[in-house]
Amino acid sequence: MKDPKDEKGIHTDFSSRMTYGEYLSLGQLLGSQNRLSGHHDEMLFIIIHQVSELWMKLILHELQASIQAIEDGNLSMAFKMLARVSKIQSQIIESWDVLSTLTPSEYVQFRDKLGQASGFQSHQYRLIEFALGYKTTHVLEIYKKDEGLHSELSKALNSPSIYDVSIQALAKAGLPIRDEILSRDLSLTYKGDPSVEAAWLEVYRNPGTYWDLYELAEKLIDIEDWLQQWRFRHMKTVERIIGFKKGTGGSSGVTYLKKVLDHRFFPELWDIRTKL
Q: What's phi and psi for 102, nearest 5 deg?
A: -80, 120
Annotated binding site for heme: 234
pLDDT at 2: 65
Q: How many CB atoms lie within 10 A of CB 227?
A: 22
- Cα angle value 63/67/68 (rounded, 5°): 120
pLDDT at 252: 86
| Secondary structure of residue 190 in the 3-state scheme | coil
CA–CA dist 276, 274 (Å, integer) = 6
Domain coordinates of the chain in residue numbers?
39-274
Q: pTM higher than 0.85 for the full model?
A: yes
Nearest to 169 by CA among 66, 48, 275: 66
**Number of helices followed by number of strands (H, E) in the chain:** 13, 0
CA–CA dist 255, 244 (Å, integer) = 7
Annotated binding site for substrate: 45-49, 107, 111, 248
Annotated binding site: 45-49, 107, 111, 234, 248
- CATH of 39-274, picked from 3.40.50.720, 1.20.58.480, 2.40.10.10, 3.40.50.970, is 1.20.58.480
CA–CA dist 51, 259 (Å, integer) = 26
pLDDT (tens, 9 = 90+) of the chain, 276 residues, equals 666 666 778 888 888 999 999 999 999 999 999 999 999 999 999 999 999 999 999 999 999 999 999 999 999 999 999 999 999 999 999 999 999 999 999 999 999 999 988 888 999 999 999 999 999 888 898 899 999 999 999 999 999 999 999 999 999 999 999 999 999 999 999 999 999 999 999 999 999 999 999 999 999 999 999 999 999 999 999 999 999 998 888 888 899 899 888 889 999 999 999 999
